[in-house]
Structure 1
Amino acid sequence: MSTNGAGSGRKGLVLAAMIFAVAMTFIDQTIVSIAAPTIQTKLGLSGTGMQWAINAYLLAMAALFAFGGRLSDTLGHRRTVIAGVIIFAGASALCGATPTGALAQSWIITFRALQGLGGAVMYPAALAIVVNTYELRERGKALALFFGIAGGLTAVGPILGGYLTQWTWRGIFWVNIPVALVALVLIWMSKPETRFRPAPIDYRGLVLIASGVALSVFGFQQSHVWGWSNPAIGLSIAAGALLLVLFFRYERGRTSPLMDVRIFSNRAFAVQCLVLGLCMAVFLPMFFFASEYASISLGQNAQQAGLTLLYFFGGFVVTAQIGGRMLDRVGAKRPVVAGAVIAAAGFYLWASRMTDLDLSKLTWFIVLAGAGMGLMISPSNTDAVNRASSLSYGEATGITMTVRNYASSLSLAVLGTVLISVFQSRLADTFAQEPHTTRAQADAMAAAATHGSSSGGSGSGGTVPRPIALDFAHAAQVVFYIMAGLMAVAAVVALVGLRGGVQAPEAESESAAEGVQTA
């Protein structure tokens, strides 16, 4: 049951405040990768150090989302989102102020991790405020706008990063400060009120889930650097998985758990988490691989690659609004199933024409893939959160965001391995056709050429020989066919697992309301 604490006249203001708050987290998912070469040169960072300046943010956020969700439900959503905005903006300012010299590498990695903490605290609280502000029948439309704009900002990162870097690389961090100030002013003006229940924080559970997610994601992130044959990768992922199993077992016996794992007994919530996992295994990796394809196969620079991805978000933003209205009118099943089917078709057709090396033949398929994703993501996420008690919206958001980030990390590692493997094989075939080149020499040349080829961010758009551009296009094509398959699986899961119809509002019991506060 929504508290509707902001009042009908202020709902739009509350929504705007929360969009500005989370805008920083979405922009920062992609903006730093574009400026990475400049940052590395200016600060004298090692390749590993620069990689961790990127990964520390994503790793901290993934590991702490569950904590952020629980914190917002126990301390109050408004004060938690304010704290998250301040932490994020402060860490951004300090990242931008990174000194040159020996201290630079540890400084920027530390404060990038602090940015991740701010995002993990802020995002679940912001979404909980939006959900609490709108009644059940209005949430689809409101959250479609929330996810549509916030998701579209992922594409803004490369474009904005490219322009800011021409001024100074520090600007990619400092740009968060005015956004944070606008968010804080809007929060002060709208004064959103939501209910919460003070409770002790389960720190043992926090250590288990944070360590489990961090170790697993670390293993996935490092797999393309160290290689899957390195035993440290398998040990890291296995240890993380074991800790997550222990966390699940530990939480079942707690009276005040960090995560009430019983929510997974709700069929709709569990199914939507699986759908979101499959969807996010495509969404964020798509950005990376599409940028690499645009750079290597199409010869685009970073700004051009970012503009190409706006085709995707053009379709995404429009259908996100349609999906939200469908959720309010007919429930989640139709938009989620239809969106997954459309996305599967879009990614399949996109993949089928990648080897033409012609952007004009891809444009409408890119739009179609974005339209499918936009139609389903908001209804799926909203329906999952709606299944929680009004006192647990932050916790439910923390769970869904943990699932989303975990799936993205796993998919990026696996698909990255597939991309490099196929690219290396085709390159070897190409090199072997050169006169006086043995197969062994061709294999060695291909291995050297592909080492670190997917190290992050799109390239500079320099001229790549057409045979090599075509070889990379074939590798990317395989990855995008897999993405189409994942979306097809998501469609089947939603079709079989979800029930049709609009969710009925659930009355809050008196016992559940004991100890509840409003702020």
Structure 2
Amino acid sequence: MLVLAAMLFAVVMVFIDQTIVSIAAPSIIEKLGLSSSGMQWVVNVYLLALAGFFALGGRLADVFGNRRVAVAGMLVFVVSSALCGSAPTGEFAQSWLVIFRATQGLGAALLFPAALAVVIAVFPVDRRGRAVALFFVLAGALTAVGPLLGGWLTAWSWRAIFWVNVPVAMVALVLTALARIPDARRPERLDVPGTVLVAAGVGLNVMGFQQASAWGWSSPATWACIVGGFVVLAVFCLYELRTHEPLVKLRVFCDRAFTADLVVLFFSVLAFVPVLFFASVYAQISLSASPDQAAFYLLYFFVGFGLAALWGGRILDKRGARPALRLGTALGCVGYTLWAGKLTDLSAHDQWPYACLAGAGIGLMFSPASTDAVNRAIGASYGEVTGITQTVRNYAAAVGMAVFGTVLTHVTTSRVAQTLTARGLPGGEAQGRARAIAEAITGHPDDHQPTGHGPTATAMRSAIQAIRMDFAKANQWVFYGMAVALGVAFLCTVLHPGTRVTGQVAKARENEER
């Protein structure tokens, strides 16, 4: 249990930073003068670094030992957190935050696969589903503290949301030292070209999605990045098939169940990580919620997630992954659809059952999909396969943030422009102000209300409540999009053959390369 506690404290920083920054986003935008697209990069570059370097983190864990890599990741993560909290004001603020959020993501990419591989290696395969589910539930429960903690800390200073990682990391390092975790190593060559190719491919691809809002979907630069990223990833796959000691053993994808797990994870995560950001911003804008109140709004989702995750682990151990994947994606699709329909009620009280249902769907399928994929590791390369699953997870999260962010900005601009035009603003001015409001997303639309008594000021003052509703309607597009992603995930569950990995099968896999 000491091992579980040590790794839990280590990875909780990774989970917390996916939610706590979302809560503080409006405050960071206001204090540092960032644009909405700039703030999305602060959020997204963390996910991008995770997606780009998770495969490397998993491979390093196998080669140098899980404990060593976990400790290295903790140190990189906590130093980067401290530097994020020390960001200067002025023109360099956005660049500073983006740089050190990226190194923070690199630290997390080293830490998480090593920590999860430790937990997986400790438990036998027949008990692994419940063990890993417990790991994710406890991590999720502590993550749920993130929004609450973020709301409280943001009221004091947004910088504290990064500095809070320092004491958490100290506890994790002490527990890791006391746990005396064994450090099995697999001495193999590191695949540096493969690492560069996968990081470049993911980076280019996500940049294209992220910048589509600014460059436009018809821009050659947008499609050059998106298509170029896919081309680089294709080159990566060809290189991996030909190298003797690859970063990723692609033959693991010959296992149909493994591939199905990853496809379902990809489409499900499109609706998982992004919702934490968009729901928080929606609460602070459309519901006029404070950061603390936005945190409680997100708790509805986490309650459903936590209650369902342990159930999913039990289903995995007794019946395999497929039943949990099917039920979870179906529940999630229904939950997101009903939640989206209630967003325009502008009442958190009316939405909580559907937010819980959405969270329950994600919680039910998330741990079984991840654990079943890892159980199918070749030669017990748990670090490597964990790196693959988490690369897919974080790549999907980055793509989801980029695509849904573009949708939100576009629909918000269109609706707000119509609202301002209806209140007497000329078309060109209305479009410009609508774009400014959509880009700012500070949670305080009245901050864009000009002072004075002219027609522009009067129109803006009369439009504030309508703008809040416009933003809620724009979010409906995002939440319905997430429901569609989960619907696709449900359809993809038919790819899973329904086979289980038993203790005997796992033992054979471990002996395969010995």
Q: Which amino acid aligns with 1:217?
A: V
Partner Cα separation in structure 1 for residue 36 and residue 287 of structure 2 = 26
Give the corresponding residue for 2:502: 504
Give the corresponding residue for 2:484: 485
Measured at CA, do residues 478 and 323 of structure 1 come closer, stay the same or move farther in structure 2, by a change above 3 Å? same
Q: Which amino acid aligns with 1:497?
A: L
Do the aligned residues in 2 keep the contact of 1:300 with 1:462 (CA within 8 Å)?
no
Give the corresponding residue for 2:363: 374
Measured at CA, do residues 205 and 52 of structure 1 come closer, stay the same or move farther in structure 2, by a change above 3 Å? same
Partner Cα separation in structure 2 for residue 122 and residue 156 of structure 1 = 21
Q: Which amino acid aligns with 2:85?
A: G
Q: Which amino acid aligns with 2:465?
A: R
Partner Cα separation in structure 1 for residue 91 and residue 480 of structure 2 = 45
Q: State the shift of 1:305 in Å.
A: 1.3
Q: State the shift of 1:297 in Å.
A: 2.0
Q: Which amino acid aligns with 2:387?
A: G
Q: Which amino acid aligns with 1:190?
A: A
Q: State the shift of 1:21 in Å.
A: 0.6
Partner Cα separation in structure 1 for residue 495 and residue 284 of structure 2 = 39
Question: Does residue 1:215 correspond to 2:204, yes or no?
Answer: yes
Structure 2 unaligned runs (5+)? 448-462
Question: Does residue 1:121 correspond to 2:104, yes or no?
Answer: no
Q: Which amino acid aligns with 2:412?
A: F
Do the aligned residues in 2 keep the contact of 1:64 with 1:117 (CA within 8 Å)?
yes
Q: Which amino acid aligns with 2:391?
A: T
Measured at CA, do residues 509 and 427 of structure 1 come closer, stay the same or move farther in structure 2, by a change above 3 Å? closer
Give the corresponding residue for 1:448: 433
For residue 279 of structure 2, the aligned residue among 286, 290, 303 is 290
Do the aligned residues in 1 keep the contact of 2:335 with 2:354 (CA within 8 Å)?
yes
Do the aligned residues in 2 keep the contact of 1:14 with 1:187 (CA within 8 Å)?
yes
Do the aligned residues in 2 keep the contact of 1:152 with 1:313 (CA within 8 Å)?
yes
Partner Cα separation in structure 2 for residue 266 and residue 123 of structure 1 = 24
Do the aligned residues in 1 keep the contact of 2:253 with 2:259 (CA within 8 Å)?
yes
Partner of 1:30, secondary structure, is helix
Matched ranges for 1:404-419 at <5 A:
404-419=393-408
Q: Which amino acid aligns with 2:251?
A: R
Question: Does residue 1:56 correspond to 2:45, yes or no?
Answer: yes
Q: Which amino acid aligns with 2:45?
A: A
Do the aligned residues in 2 keep the contact of 1:416 with 1:454 (CA within 8 Å)?
no
Q: Which amino acid aligns with 1:401?
A: Q
Q: Which amino acid aligns with 1:293?
A: Y
After TM superposition, the structure 1 stretch with the greater mean CA deviation from structure 2, 219-228 or 36-45, is 36-45
Partner of 2:189, secondary structure, is coil
Do the aligned residues in 2 keep the contact of 1:333 with 1:500 (CA within 8 Å)?
yes
Give the corresponding residue for 1:199: 188
Matched ranges for 1:390-401 at <5 A:
391-401=380-390
Measured at CA, do residues 99 and 485 of structure 1 come closer, stay the same or move farther in structure 2, by a change above 3 Å? closer
Give the corresponding residue for 1:280: 269
Give the corresponding residue for 1:459: 443
Q: Which amino acid aligns with 1:424?
A: T
Give the corresponding residue for 1:474: 473
Q: State the shift of 1:356 in Å.
A: 2.0
What do you get for the CA RMSD once the two structures are aligned?
A: 2.7
Do the aligned residues in 2 keep the contact of 1:32 with 1:172 (CA within 8 Å)?
yes
For residue 288 of structure 2, the aligned residue among 268, 288, 299 is 299
CA deviation digits over 1:46-80, x for unaligned, max 9? Answer: 88766554443332222111111111111111111
Measured at CA, do residues 130 and 32 of structure 1 come closer, stay the same or move farther in structure 2, by a change above 3 Å? same
For residue 301 of structure 2, the aligned residue among 308, 312, 321 is 312
Q: State the shift of 1:229 in Å.
A: 3.8
Structure with the largest fraction of helix: 2
Measured at CA, do residues 94 and 292 of structure 1 come closer, stay the same or move farther in structure 2, by a change above 3 Å? closer
Measured at CA, do residues 337 and 444 of structure 1 come closer, stay the same or move farther in structure 2, by a change above 3 Å? farther
Structure 1 unaligned runs (5+)? 1-11, 515-519
Partner of 1:500, secondary structure, is coil
Partner Cα separation in structure 2 for residue 139 and residue 99 of structure 1 = 45
Give the corresponding residue for 1:233: 222
Identity of aligned residues (%): 49
